[in-house]
Amino acid sequence: MSETFLGGFMSGLLSRGFLGTRVGYGFYFTTARLFGVDPGSHGGSELTGTMGGYIDGQLMPSLSADENDKLIERLERVKDFELAKDQIKRIELKRPGSYGIGFGRITVVPDTGHSISIQLRHPVAYDRLVQLTQAFSPDVVRTRPFLSV
């Protein structure tokens, strides 16, 4: 199966843990899979530099076949988790408040197993993830405004 990298980013605008104390996380999307990358484990810090923010300075870059394959291999090595598109029941995105008031959240709900939930510390992270998840699998994406429960 041919798989193409769609885009992704790692940022301090994403966090985990109690009250978002573990700052930094990354989401990367291909045409077939979603990868979560923790910069503090599994060699995730290997993705800093050109991969830390954007790939080639772009959220959704155009890569050569060789660059595409190398990037996917690197993601497979450093992933915190990976889910195939057909293993994902739903991706929920809740917008954070502006000016640092209130966290948003991305929750990936698989068909089986535990949901993965990462806090969004800024509306920019929400906007980027909406763009990426819509390109990845628009039929599973649900968005909610800041003041929703």
The torsion angles phi and psi of 48, rounded to 5 degrees, stand at: -70, 180
3-state secondary structure of 71: helix
Mean pLDDT, range 124-137, rounded to an integer: 95
Find tokens 């510390």 and name the residue. Answer: 121
Give the number of other CB atoms < 10 A from CB of residue 114: 9
pTM: 0.87
Q: Rounded CA gap, 85 and 65, in Å?
A: 21
> What is the set of domains in the chain, with CATH numbers?
5-144 (2.30.29)
pLDDT of residue 1 exceeding 60, the answer is no
pLDDT digits (tens, 9 = 90+) for 13-48: 899 877 677 888 999 999 999 999 988 765 555 555
pLDDT of residue 52 exceeding 80, the answer is no
Find tokens 């910069």 and name the residue. Answer: 39
Give the number of other CB atoms < 10 A from CB of residue 134: 14
